[in-house]
Structure 1
């Protein structure tokens, strides 16, 4: 008798070529990574230039921190998240960054509290740089959360008001609001005298004003310089989305 023909299982349908999930996860990973690196860099204050005063106000040296190198890029990626994915998904990325930044600080505190090995002589140096300073941590987390949420919210609101036109206005307008709030909150809580109860060092009022103005102007200028790059990144990310994204 002839053997019955073997039955073959139907092959699974082929997925269409091209990206299937878009780049949201990649943008979020870069966003959070830059945030964490910047937070570590921000533990060092930087002074650039000779001492110059105009009318008793110190114009130079420029006072900033190590986070100034990469932190402005988090606002570029924050703009990408809000512009391409909308308020809800941008807010989710911002909250993820907040939670991981808090976890990083808590981890450094636990590690610093653990007894060092007998032949390890860098305990004090490690604690000085990465140790848990409540004042800096609170200032960083508060400034980041307020600034990034306002940046995303303003961009989305402007997008609705302009009907999706004038991207440059949305990018710059949201950055001015977000960076201003972020800089003022962080600098005031981290180095102003009202926060002395949280520990850490205070700086004179003149230096604090210099710090705030310099940080704000620098971050906004970086956004202006990188505006063409932000345009290209937004266009590239949106083009790689498998389906149109409905901002929300």
Structure 2
């Protein structure tokens, strides 16, 4: 068939070269993976016991997402520092929506009738069936913590301009991680088997200290990533 002048040609939307969608994808994937990993409670120094007053310091109580949660805050810092609060908020709400979708899919998968030859229904239900509870905890902590993290970073940046990046990154993390950790742990602790006040305090303190220290440790990498993205993205001023 010969093409005529009146036949419409195919059109496609233009894909920009911004790093923003890539960072949002990593940010969202981190949240989903974290919520599955967080269904497993873990313990370090299980054979050691040390108490400070009514609070048991050792062993250290965490969930299996402890190594991944800091990455979500690092990516959140990058989004806010480079693209601003509005763009970061859009990424946060996108992650929130996708976490809800993940929860709904897991709930449906658990309820679907298992095949006669499938022998892992109980194990599957035990693991992903806990996810809605963990997601509820994560969503509450995530929304409060990430929004506070982004707001504080932008608030500090408005007063320091482009100076003192380390103050913005650490200051926002201290505030955001505290709100996130307390909220998340208060809801998630029963789901992973923490039933005592001492264990709960241990869970909160260890998680908060670890997440904050992890971001401080990788600060040089965060600096390099932010500098790289800023050098390759168009910027604007308020």
1:74-132 Cα offsets, whole Å, 9 max, x none, are: 10010000000001000000001111111111110000000001100000000101115
Match status 1:28 vs 2:24: yes
TM-score by length of 1: 0.85
1:231 to 223, 232, 238: 223
Aligned partner of 1:52 in structure 2 is 50
Match status 1:207 vs 2:205: no
Tell me which stretches of 4 or more aligned residues in structure 1 moved more than 6 Å.
Answer: none
8 A contact 1:85–1:245 mirrored in 2: no
Name which one, 1 or 2, has greater alpha-carbon Rg: 1
Q: How many residues in Structure 1 have an aligned counterpart in Structure 2?
A: 222
| 3-state SS in 1 of match to 2:84 | helix
Aligned partner of 1:187 in structure 2 is 185
8 A contact 2:37–2:63 mirrored in 1: yes
Aligned partner of 1:40 in structure 2 is 36
Tell me, which stretches of 5 or more residues in structure 1 are unaligned? 1-18, 193-198
| CA displacement at 1:135 relative to structure 2 | 3.3
Distance 1:114 1:222 in 2: 40
TM-score by length of 2: 0.88
| 3-state SS in 2 of match to 1:164 | coil
1:123-181 Cα offsets, whole Å, 9 max, x none, are: 00001011155432311110111111110111011100112211000000000011000
1:125 to 123, 126, 137: 123
Match status 1:65 vs 2:63: yes
8 A contact 2:39–2:131 mirrored in 1: no
1:196-232 Cα offsets, whole Å, 9 max, x none, are: xxx8855100100000000000000001001100000
Tell me, which stretches of 5 or more residues in structure 2 are unaligned? 1-14
Q: 1:213 to 1:134 in 2, by over 3 A?
A: same
